[in-house]
Structure 1
Amino acid sequence: MVKKLISVGSILIPTVLTILIVNFLFDIVPLNIQGLPLVLPFVICPIGAALGLIGYKMNRDNLARAGMIFNIGLFLFPIAFNIIGTVSGGV
């Protein structure tokens, strides 16, 4: 039970962060959190990746593997977003 909960937690973290980032980019629900969704992955995604690694070592399931991949990809997203924004004519 705990093994599966760790794997689900490693997927749940980047899912919530992705929803916040999409909301920030497209302003679906107006929130006054400014640039926080683009900074949170630097802090929270390593925790989710560690949970995925722990879940994968305990259970060897695909859910934990997907959690690790999703967390690493989301960790790299703000970096790519800033580089692409700067190269395409940003400040």
Structure 2
Amino acid sequence: MQNAVILINAEKGRIKAVAERLAEVPGISEVYSTCGRYDLVAIARTRDFETLAELVTGRLTQVEGVRETETLNALQVHSRHDLETMFSVGL
């Protein structure tokens, strides 16, 4: 599993539309609108690095209104949510 945080700047006046479109893209699990240097933060979860690369360089570049991205590829995931998921399936 590959996880990444994708920082996104959108064209002026298009943040909400870009966020809604990104949320529909397979491989994107969440999209947050933010204030500060970036307009949006998308969380990507893919089965392998090749799928992540296609998502970032192929699919995201086709979303109208995306001006620029910066991808932070996760090395390790530290999440209480993941622990709760494990316990809910009986592991």
Question: Under a length normalisation based on structure 2, what TM-score does the superposition of the two structures give?
Answer: 0.31
Question: Under a length normalisation based on structure 1, what TM-score does the superposition of the two structures give?
Answer: 0.31
